[in-house]
Amino acid sequence: MNRRKIIEERLFKLLAGIATYSLIAILAFIILVIFVKGFNALTFDMIIKTPKGGFYYGGEGGVLNAIIGSLYIAFGATLIAAIIGIPAALYINVHLIKKKRTQNTIRFLLDALWGIPSIVYGAFGFTLMLFLGMNASLLAGIITVALLITPIMVRTFDEVLSTIPIGLHEATLALGSTKTEMALKVLFKQGFSGFITAILLAFGRGIGDAASVLFTAGYTDLIPVNLDEPAATLPLAIFFQLGSPIPEVRERAFASATILTFIILAISLGARFLSKQYSKSNLK
Partner 1 sequence: MNSYQTLNNLVLENNVQIPEPESILTVKNLNVYVHQHHILKDINLTIPKNKITVLLGPSGCGKTTLLKCMNKLTDLHKELKVTGNIFIEGDDILHTQTYLPELRQKMGLLSQRPFPLPMSIYKNVAYGLKLKGIRDKKLIDYSVEKNLSEVGLWNEVKDRLHSPATSLSIGQQQRLCLARGLAVKPRIILADEPTSALDPISSKIIENLFKDLKKHYTIILVTHVLRQAVRIADHVVFMYNGEIIEQGSPNELFKNPKTQKLKEYLTDGN
**What is 112-158 written as a DSSP string?**
HHHHS-HHHHHHHHHHHHHHHTPPS-HHHHHHHHHHHHHHHHHHHHH
> ∠ at Cα 279 (260, 74), nearest 5°?
25
Residues for the chain: how many in total? 284
Question: Among residues 161 and 231, whose Cβ is nearest to partner 1?
Answer: 161
Site for partner 1 contains 275 (CB under 8 A): no
Q: Please check whether residue 236 is in contact with residue 223, taking contact to mean a CB–CB distance below 8 angstroms.
A: no
If one asks whether residue 5 binds partner 1 (CB under 8 A), the answer comes out as no
- In the complex with partner 1, the residue whose CB is nearer, 4 or 100, is 100
Choice from 113, 128, 162, 177 touching partner 1 (CB under 8 A): 177
Residue 107 Cβ vs partner 1, minimum distance, rounded to whole Å: 16
Binding mask 116-155 for partner 1 (x = CB under 8 A): ----------------------------------------
Contacts 24+ apart (CB under 8 A), 97-105: 97/169
Instruction: Decide if residue 49 touches partner 1 (CB under 8 A).
Output: no
How far is the C-alpha of 155 from the C-alpha of 113, rounded, in Å? Answer: 10
Nearer to partner 1, 103 or 241 (CB): 103
Picking from 74, 79, 118, 34, the residue whose alpha carbon sits closest to that of residue 233 is 74
CB of 283 to partner 1, least distance (A): 6
Among residues 1, 100, 226, 277, the one that binds partner 1 under rule CB under 8 A: 100
Among 16, 175, 246, 266, binds partner 1 (CB under 8 A): 175
Q: Is 228 helix (H, G, I), strand (E, B) or coil?
A: coil
Q: Which range touches partner 1 (CB under 8 A), out of 69-77, 126-134, 173-181, 248-256?
A: 173-181
> What span, in angstroms and rounded, lies between the C-alpha atoms of 219 and 238?
12
